[in-house]
Chains A and B, each alone.
Chain A
Amino acid sequence: MKTWFGTYLTSSHAEPVEATVLAYEKNIAIGFRQANGDNSTINWNIGDIDAAFDNSLQATKISNIKDPGTKLLINGKNAKEYIEQLQAEHHKPWHKKENTKEWSRNLLIFLSIASVLVTAYFLIVPWLSEKLASTVSVKTEEQFGNAVYDALSLEEDKEATIIVNNFFKELKVTTAYNVRIIVVNSDVVNAFALPGGNIVVYTGLLKELKTYPELVALLSHEFIHVNNKHSTKSIFRQLGSRVFLSLLFGKFGSVTSVMIDQADKFKSLKYSRGLEKEADVEGLAILKERKIDPEGFVSLFKHLKDSAPASAMPELLGSHPDIDNRIAYIRDVSKNAAVEENIQLKTIFEKLK
């Protein structure tokens, strides 16, 4: 915006009055005091005016084609140059349909940025996080896993721990990890794997197991979690998307951030179900290679289902796939599997009873 002082003539015979002139992009506003003392402002469209420099007056003479007879005088050449600039800008093609053009351009920019951000959130950030997770050394994972285990301060069943570890050694799986199974005294029917090789099994679940293939199924499932760095990957992915989202939405109010948090959790649940399925399927491969009955998985899942009575939660909201689904795909993959009795595993398993 520019401002000038000028002299305004309401008609060719009228007395000139002092005026303040404000020049905007599309119009100029002329403010002056009428003869009766009232203030008055008139607006001239940039397109309607004609500015010329008058050499004898050394002033810019501005007239309005829509209002003949009126005249505005501004000292110096500045006003003429500025108005010509505005008029040149005004005549450029995009100025005519400015609003629609600008809107469609802004919408396009918005959509392209939004699609970049969505791609980043759904593809690039998870990919990058997993890349980073896979660079974490076994040793670091071990240190982290041990720290988490110590922090949990669980009550260990030493005798059962030795038996279950011997049982796992008998499976002879090859891995870079130093897998250590810890049996914990608790009625909870569950087991979990920590990064770096610690697998925690609750006695509540061990008591439920009736045959040795069930224990093999449980241990191979948890072993795959360790061997495929599932916990580490999950942590990195969550961290990655958190950092990304907080950069993007960090400045929003608490309601928005709660909504975004929940949406992010929802997404990570889907990932978690994917990892569980991977652990089931690859764990099943361990059973098949050793000719152990894949039904071990099925009965293991049944124990889990019995222990968590009829949860009404749909699969979409769970961190694990629905048990019936898990049974279905295990049965599907394990069709016609060769089965042989493994005496050593059986003997070790009997010791637990």
Chain B
Amino acid sequence: MIVTTTHYVEGRPVQEYLGIINAQSIIGANIFKDFLGGLRDVFGGRSKTYEKVIEQAKEDALRELAEKAQAVGANAIIGVDLDFETIGGSGSMLMVIASGTAVRL
């Protein structure tokens, strides 16, 4: 499975377009992570705990995207776009949306 943000795959023309697919992952940092993140907010510095949460959400979204592509018989996803949003009452949850075009090369 080729997953790429570009619109072409070098040297391999698209044989078949299988439609737009998207996948989302909504993830909550737990209260301890929020506590540690809160400390970082006060004392400054990089918040590794939140970074890991974002990384995890991104991985999950891309994985789900690949699953969907496989299910429609694609062997590549082109033009992949990742969107990061915070949602929930006070923005304490993270949402990652991955979308792209499933194609057969």
Contacts and interface: CB of A to CB of B under 8 A. Distances in A.
A20 B35 contact: no
Given A18-B75, A253-B89, A31 B70 contact: yes
B90 A253 contact: yes
Interface string A6-44: 000000000000101110100001010100000101000
Interface in B57-85: 59, 62-63, 66-67, 69-75
Interface of B: 1-3, 31-32, 34-35, 38-39, 42, 59, 62-63, 66-67, 69-75, 89-92
Contact of A20 (B32, B63, B74): B74
B66 A252 contact: no
A1 B63 contact: yes
21 contacts: A1-B59, A1-B63, A18-B75, A20-B1, A20-B74, A20-B75, A21-B1, A29-B70, A31-B70, A31-B75, A33-B73, A39-B71, A41-B70, A248-B35, A248-B38, A249-B31, A250-B34, A251-B91, A251-B92, A252-B90, A254-B89
Nearest to A252: B90
A18 B74 CA distance: 11
A253 B92 CA distance: 10
A138 to B, nearest CB: 31
A251 B67 contact: no
Nearest to B89: A253
Contacts of B74: 20
A4 to B, nearest CB: 8
B45 to A, nearest CB: 15
Interface residues of A, number: 24
Given A247-B42, A252-B89, A20 B59 contact: no
A115 interface: no
List 9 A-B pairs, minimum CB-CB distance, nearest first.
Answer: A39-B73, A3-B1, A253-B89, A31-B70, A251-B92, A247-B38, A20-B75, A20-B1, A251-B34
Contacts of B34: 248, 250-251
A18 B105 CA distance: 11
A196 to B, nearest CB: 30
Given A22-B1, A247-B42, A253-B89, A113 B67 contact: no
Contacts of B1: 3-5, 20-22
B78 to A, nearest CB: 14
Interface in A40-76: 41
B82 to A, nearest CB: 16
Contact of B32 (A18, A21, A113, A250): A113
A24 B1 CA distance: 13
> In the complex, which of the residues B2, B59, B75 has the most CB atoms of chain A within 10 Å of its own CB atom?
B75
Contact of B70 (A22, A246, A251): A22
B95 to A, nearest CB: 16
Contact of B71 (A21, A41, A247, A251): A41
A248 B3 CA distance: 39
A247 B32 contact: no
Contacts of A248: 31, 34-35, 38
A33 B74 CA distance: 9
Contact of A251 (B38, B63, B72): B38
